[in-house]
């Protein structure tokens, strides 16, 4: 399990390293702002994924597209996943949604709420271990 989590961690870190665009007035947060907040929760996201793999005894493959609202204080006000989804494990979806709710983001520069659409991609790596990438 530790080996699988280490492999997953590498994938997540590389996903967070993408160059982010400048902030724009419509979103008030950059992709990097969002990715950095999720990077702080990386281990918990990896646990959600690994628990699903352990529970279902197979690699989870698919994309979980989420939509959440970040309040003016950086606290998540609501979160939903877009349907239909190709993620077969509802407990994995619930776990990721719960972690999104607990994640703290920088307050939007506009001083208002921001709606974010964010994908979590699950796949089987070439070495056979499960892999998870968040963001585009």
The distance in angstroms from the start CA to the end CA of the chain is: 26
Closest to 122 measured CA to CA, from 33, 37, 15, 3: 15
What is residue 3's predicted lDDT score, i.e. its pLDDT?
A: 46
Instruction: Using pLDDT thresholds of 50, 70 and 90, give the confidence band for residue 136.
Output: low
Instruction: Using pLDDT thresholds of 50, 70 and 90, give the confidence band for residue 65.
Output: very high
Instruction: Of 7-16, 27-36, 41-50, 70-79, give the lowest mean pLDDT range.
Output: 7-16
Contact 8, 133 (CB under 8 A): no
pLDDT tens digit string along 102-131? 999 999 988 899 999 999 998 777 766 656
- What is the pairing mode between strands 76-81 and 130-134? unpaired
Give the dihedral sign, CA 70/74/79/85.
positive
Question: Residue 133 pLDDT more than 80?
Answer: no
The secondary structure of residue 118, as a DSSP letter, is: E
Tokens of 8: 């997953």
Question: Residue 87 pLDDT more than 50?
Answer: yes
pTM, 2 dp: 0.76
Instruction: Using pLDDT thresholds of 50, 70 and 90, give the confidence band for residue 98.
Output: very high
Q: Where are the domains of the chain?
A: 2-134
How deeply is 64 buried, as exposed, middle or buried, from its count of CB atoms within 10 A (0-12, 13-18, 19+)?
buried
Give me the helices (H) in 17-88, please.
Answer: 31-40, 42-56
């Amino acid at each position: 399990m530790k080996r699988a989590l280490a492999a997953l961690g590498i994938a997540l870190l590389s996903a967070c390293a993408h160059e982010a665009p400048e902030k724009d007035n419509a979103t008030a947060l950059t992709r990097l702002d969002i990715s950095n907040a999720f990077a702080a929760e990386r281990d918990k996201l990896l646990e959600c994924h690994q628990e699903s793999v352990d529970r279902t005894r197979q690699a989870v493959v698919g994309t979980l597209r989420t939509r959440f609202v970040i309040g003016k204080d950086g606290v998540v006000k609501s979160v939903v996943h877009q349907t239909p989804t190709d993620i077969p494990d509802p407990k994995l979806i619930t776990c990721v949604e719960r972690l999104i709710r607990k994640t703290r983001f920088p307050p939007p520069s506009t001083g208002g709420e921001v709606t974010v659409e964010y994908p979590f991609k699950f796949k089987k790596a070439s070495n056979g271990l499960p892999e998870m990438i968040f963001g585009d």
